[in-house]
Amino acid sequence: MAGMIEVRAEDIPRLLQETEGPFVLYLYSPLCGTCSLASQMLNIVIQTSASLPVFKCDVLLAPDLCQDWHIETIPCLVFCSRNKTGHRITRMESVDLLFREFKKWKEQQSTG
């Protein structure tokens, strides 16, 4: 996988309907220092494993999405699969934690 794919808020409903298999939506702001660090960790996870697809959306351009999804803090990872959203992570403490969460979501979606 090449890296994170930037999407607009209006693209997200289509992603939920059309993306085959599990994926992750990364909500961030380019003005957020913690988001910058989280982006670096996510890039490591993406490059070092058979990762899930990761789409990213700038919350400054997506106020309605944040309100509808009750996004209260960033950075935020939303684990998704066809037509549903799963759990969220807002504390990205380590690359290892992210790697384990990606693996767990991928396994849950392949068995359930």
Which tens digits make up the pLDDT trace of 79-105? 999 888 989 999 999 999 999 999 999
**Summary mean pLDDT of the chain:** 91
Q: Give me the pLDDT at residue 90, please.
A: 95
pLDDT single digits (tens) 71-83: 999 999 999 998 8
Q: Give me the pLDDT at residue 50, please.
A: 67
| CA atoms of 79 and 52, how far apart (whole Å) | 10
* Residue 2 pLDDT class (50, 70, 90 cuts): low
CATH 3.40.30.10 fits 5-111, yes or no: yes
Q: Give me the pLDDT at residue 48, please.
A: 82
Q: Give me the pLDDT at residue 82, please.
A: 85
Q: Give me the pLDDT at residue 43, please.
A: 93
Q: Which of 12-16, 52-56, 107-111 has the lowest mean pLDDT?
A: 107-111
Q: Give me the pLDDT at residue 3, please.
A: 83
Q: Strand 5-6's sheet: what is its strand order?
A: 5-6, 54-58, 23-28, 76-81, 84-89
Domain layout of the chain by residue ranges: 5-111
- CB atoms < 10 A from the CB of 96, how many? 10
Q: Which residues contact 54 (CB under 8 A, 6 or more apart)?
A: 1, 3, 4, 5, 23, 24, 25, 26, 42, 46
